[in-house]
Structure 1
Amino acid sequence: MLSALIWLPVIGALVIALLPKSLSNKGSAIVTSAILILDFLLLRQFDIGSSAFQLSENLPWLENLGLNYSLGVDGLSLPLVVLNGLITWLVICFCEKQITERKQLFDVLILLIHAGVSGAILSTNTLLFVLFYEIELIPLYLVIAAWGGTQRSYAAMKFLIFTAISGILILVGFLALGWLSANPTPVFDYETLRNLSLPIEIQVTLLVVLLLGFTIKAPFVPFHTWLPDAYVESTTPTVMMLGGIVAKLGTYGLFRFCVGLFPDAWALLSPWVAVWAGLGILYGAMVAIAQKDIKRMVAYSSIGHMSYILLAAAAATPLSMVGGIIQMVSHGLVLALLFYLVGVIEEKVGTRDLDVLNGLLNPIRGLPTTSALLILGGMASAGIPGLVGFISEFLIFQGTFSKFPIPTIFSIIGTGLTAVYFVILLNRTCFGKLDNHTAYYPKVSGLEQLPALILTALIVVLGVQPSWLVRWSETSATQIIARVPDSSLLANENSKYSTYEKISLAFRRDPR
């Protein structure tokens, strides 16, 4: 089944490329619908009580290099696989109107992006992870460069450079880890590397390399500069894929490899990471407040909300880790909804400028349904109870406050600032008086509203009944952090030293 989730979109892309243009849309819809059905079947077969990789597939490939075709799914990867299938289905089946030229080629590239993301998430061999991690880069670059806005070439090249650097750092970190496995042949199997015992100075060095690689992909401040350009210049379906699921490869790698492979080093660096996350949340919120372009505002809000996941990883408690995994899903749903609605507003009104937009909630001449959904999306992003964004942030705050109270307080302030910039956005776009001479906006059809309605339904249902989402990840989250020492215990052991001094001492002695 796991191979089918990877190779069905690849084979489907090849078939669609050969179909007549008149049949390509139906072919794309069939392929993505089949993928989504497989995702639901995967949910039925998954055992939520097991923390081990399930439905594993292991085939020898380039054994002399340590590269094997090894797949598996657990509570960390499962929600992201399903999210990937859902967003791809929405993009291909319901965003046809946003892609007016070369839709057949666009669908092919989106399916290849989907395959690369699924392959990376399901890989249990680190080299195979890097291979799939890089595969999605080229088609994503092409969809930005070919279908983007006026500055698309600049945005696509900037994205390519940053993501290539991210991939190189991750590859270097994994190669070094495999070569240090003390075997005649390098070992890149995740479970083997997880049980590898290395000196703390090597752990810290490799952790820093991988941490930089994954934070560029996510991205976190200050490696975020590619994100606003790429998000703003991308078409609506492209940015739904990019923000909704592709960027989650960075946070997935953070949980899976940084926390999972280097528990001792992570405990030493986690206070610094927590401060980094808290500052990133505040930065993203404050910069979003200053924006006049609603699409750029949503892009900067994404930077802040991704930093909640970094804070959750820093604390490495069962509650924070579950909250971090749920935040990946809730962020993907909310961001896809907001970008889709922004795309509808731009198409119908012709502008994204906050100084021009007003009165869209007008029931006769405005965009009342779109505006109502935008209000709900803003509430979900701000963590209003009853919506999916609340439970993820609440779990993160509960799991991090006891270990890192100051960064957690920064995060709570960031949640308040989220409400501020969404109130600004909603007040200027949805309320006010329409110009009687110019404001006769085209109606949004039911088919155009359907993707937003589906995403909204999920945001509400999972917010009202969060256990339907939380239960998939609890066991795996606990297993990932099982070997992470409590940083507070390390602090008590060397209470007379600062965090920096303790890291320096760790290079001379192993705290274990």
Structure 2
Amino acid sequence: MLNLLLILPIIGAIIISLLPSEKESNLNKNIALIFSSFSFIITCLIALNFDYNNGNFQYQTFLSWLPFLGLNYTVGIDGLSLPLIILNGLIVTLAIYNGETKQNAVNKPKLYYILILLLTTCVNGALIAQNLLLFFLFYEIKLVPIYLLISIWGRDKRNYAAIKYLLYTAFSGIFVLTAFLGLNFLTDGNSFDFDKITTQVLPQAKQILLLLTIVIGFAIKIPIFPLHTWLPDAYTEASTPVSMLLGGIISKLGTYGLIRFGLQLFPDVWGDISPYLAILAVITAIYGSLIAISQTDIKKMIAYASLAHINFVVLATAAGTPLSILGAICQMFAHGLIVTLLFHLVGIIEEKTGTRELSKLHGLMNPYRGLPFVGGLMILAVMASAGIPGMVGFVGEFLSFQGSFSVFPVYTLICLIATGLTAVYFVILLNRVFFGKMENKTGYLPKVQHFEHLPAVILAVIIIFFGLQPSLLTNLSLTTSNSIALLSN
């Protein structure tokens, strides 16, 4: 079933490419939606049959590919990658469903849906790859569809944002590949398979050098201050479905790589760099929150909010305790759901009102002329992002902070200030956009149809469900997080 996650989207892309060009875009969309839905169903079946008491890789496949290079098709899944695989299947399906709105008009539907399906395969491949070179291939190939999705279907500054994203992520790949090649060379290994690599034979200085290279590579991808400047441009200029993909799942490859190839491969020297990583995480969280407060564009505000909250994962990873690693995994899952919901709702607001500027939006909670249901969902998303109990955001943040406090008490308390700032910028958003008197010149806004609400309703239900039943989320990764943390202690 794990191999189907790579094969099915490619089959869907091939079928779409064979369709006559004059066919309506809905056929392309429906085919893409069918194959992405099948992929999501497979991830759910994997979760149902997953052995949660086993902290090792499951559903493994090994095929010799280019043995003289050490490149093999080695894939598997554990409690670290499983929640992200599920998240990817869900977000891609919702992004495809959300791809035919007026604001996100698809003028080249065949290419659009082919790129999204190929992106799905790349993300799944990176998450299940247990060969370092295989991971790198998927990690780098995904640049092509993302670049094209931003540059073709983005907003006015789409070319600038796409090139900036391409350059930053390319440099991320260079650092990651350099570390992988250096690790293989210094250990005299003839394989890049994850389970055959050990760093304990290396002197401490060489381990630290390789680990720093890996951390820099993934710090660009997460991103961490001061390597973050690509994020607001890419998130803001991309269309709504692409923003959902970028914030919801693509950014998680950075935090995933930090845990998998940083903490897991270099447990002996992780403590030497973790205090500095924690400092950068705290700076980024506070910086992102303060910049979010000053924004006048709703989408850019959410982009900086995303920057702040993803660095809670970095702090938890730096701490390296069993509870903090579990919290980091849960926070990645929660962050993906919440950011996807926020970007989807902003897309609806922009489509119905024609703007994202706070100064031009007032009183959208008006039950007759406004967008009251969108306002209700936005309040729910804001509460989840602020970590209100009963929402999935509370689960990830509580575990992350509780697990990090024993190692970095001061840094954890400072990050708690960032969570308080979350309430500030989101209260500004709600107060200016949804409350107050709606201007008469605005008239009656177009009604949001039920099918437009569907992705937001699905995400809201999942956010509340896992908030009320957190054990269903934590059980996915509990054993794996314990085994990863034991390596680092």
Which of 128, 131, 136 is the equivalent residue of 2:142?
136
Mapped contact 1:281–1:410 kept (Cα < 8 A): no
Mapped contact 2:322–2:484 kept (Cα < 8 A): no
Cα distance in 2 for partners of 1:17, 1:436 equals 48
2:352 counterpart of 1:348: yes
Partner of 1:2: 2
TM-score between the two structures when normalised by the length of structure 2: 0.97
SS in 2 for 1:483: helix
Which of 223, 228, 236 is the equivalent residue of 1:224?
228
Partner of 2:298: 294
Which of 145, 163, 174 is the equivalent residue of 2:151?
145
Partner of 1:203: 207
Cα distance in 2 for partners of 1:179, 1:440 equals 66
Partner of 1:36: 40
Cα distance in 2 for partners of 1:420, 1:124 equals 42
Mapped contact 2:132–2:194 kept (Cα < 8 A): yes
Partner of 2:131: 125
Q: Which amino acid aligns with 1:396?
A: S
Cα distance in 2 for partners of 1:263, 1:478 equals 13
**Structure 2 spans left out of the alignment, 5+ residues:** none
Cα distance in 1 for partners of 2:144, 2:370 equals 39
2:175 counterpart of 1:169: yes
Mapped contact 2:199–2:266 kept (Cα < 8 A): no
Partner of 1:61: 65
Cα distance in 2 for partners of 1:321, 1:483 equals 12
Cα distance in 2 for partners of 1:439, 1:167 equals 50
Cα distance in 2 for partners of 1:114, 1:219 equals 21
Cα distance in 1 for partners of 2:142, 2:410 equals 38
Cα distance in 2 for partners of 1:285, 1:194 equals 39
2:23 counterpart of 1:19: no
1:14 offset after TM fit, Å?
Answer: 1.2
Mapped contact 1:313–1:320 kept (Cα < 8 A): yes
Q: Which amino acid aligns with 2:137?
A: L
SS in 1 for 2:441: coil
Q: Which amino acid aligns with 1:321?
A: I
Which of 113, 138, 155 is the equivalent residue of 1:107?
113
Cα distance in 1 for partners of 2:448, 2:299 equals 19
Cα distance in 2 for partners of 1:400, 1:242 equals 27
Cα distance in 1 for partners of 2:479, 2:232 equals 35
Mapped contact 1:194–1:260 kept (Cα < 8 A): no
- The aligned runs of 1:245-256 (5 Å cut-off) are 245-256=249-260
1:438 offset after TM fit, Å?
Answer: 2.3
Mapped contact 2:317–2:324 kept (Cα < 8 A): yes
**Structure 1 spans left out of the alignment, 5+ residues:** 486-512
- The aligned runs of 1:363-402 (5 Å cut-off) are 363-402=367-406
Mapped contact 1:218–1:248 kept (Cα < 8 A): yes
Which of 95, 99, 121 is the equivalent residue of 1:95?
99
Structure 1 outlier segments of 4+, above 3 Å: none
Partner of 1:317: 321
SS in 2 for 1:81: helix
Mapped contact 1:359–1:366 kept (Cα < 8 A): yes
SS in 2 for 1:472: helix
Q: Identity, % of aligned pairs?
A: 51
SS in 2 for 1:347: helix
1:192 offset after TM fit, Å?
Answer: 1.6
Cα distance in 1 for partners of 2:55, 2:329 equals 15
1:104 offset after TM fit, Å?
Answer: 2.4
Which of 178, 185, 202 is the equivalent residue of 1:179?
185
Partner of 1:501: none
Q: Which amino acid aligns with 2:88?
A: N
- The aligned runs of 1:360-439 (5 Å cut-off) are 360-439=364-443
Mapped contact 1:181–1:196 kept (Cα < 8 A): no
2:272 counterpart of 1:268: yes
Give per-residue Cα distances to partners, 1:87-143, cap 9 Å, x unaligned: 011111233222331122211100111100000000000000000001111010000
Mapped contact 1:28–1:93 kept (Cα < 8 A): no
Mapped contact 1:48–1:471 kept (Cα < 8 A): yes
Mapped contact 1:204–1:265 kept (Cα < 8 A): yes
Name the stretch that deviates more: 417-426 or 431-440. Answer: 431-440
1:478 offset after TM fit, Å?
Answer: 1.0
1:349 offset after TM fit, Å?
Answer: 0.5
Cα distance in 1 for partners of 2:97, 2:317 equals 35
SS in 1 for 2:60: strand
SS in 1 for 2:63: strand
1:196 offset after TM fit, Å?
Answer: 4.4
Give per-residue Cα distances to partners, 1:58-108, cap 9 Å, x unaligned: 000000110000000000000000100000111112332223311222111
TM-score between the two structures when normalised by the length of structure 1: 0.93
Name the stretch that deviates more: 22-31 or 76-85. Answer: 22-31
1:194 offset after TM fit, Å?
Answer: 4.0
Q: Which amino acid aligns with 2:391?
A: L
Q: Which amino acid aligns with 2:8?
A: L
1:264 offset after TM fit, Å?
Answer: 1.7
Cα distance in 1 for partners of 2:324, 2:198 equals 21
Cα distance in 2 for partners of 1:188, 1:7 equals 23
How many residues were matched structurally? Answer: 483
Q: Which amino acid aligns with 1:3?
A: N
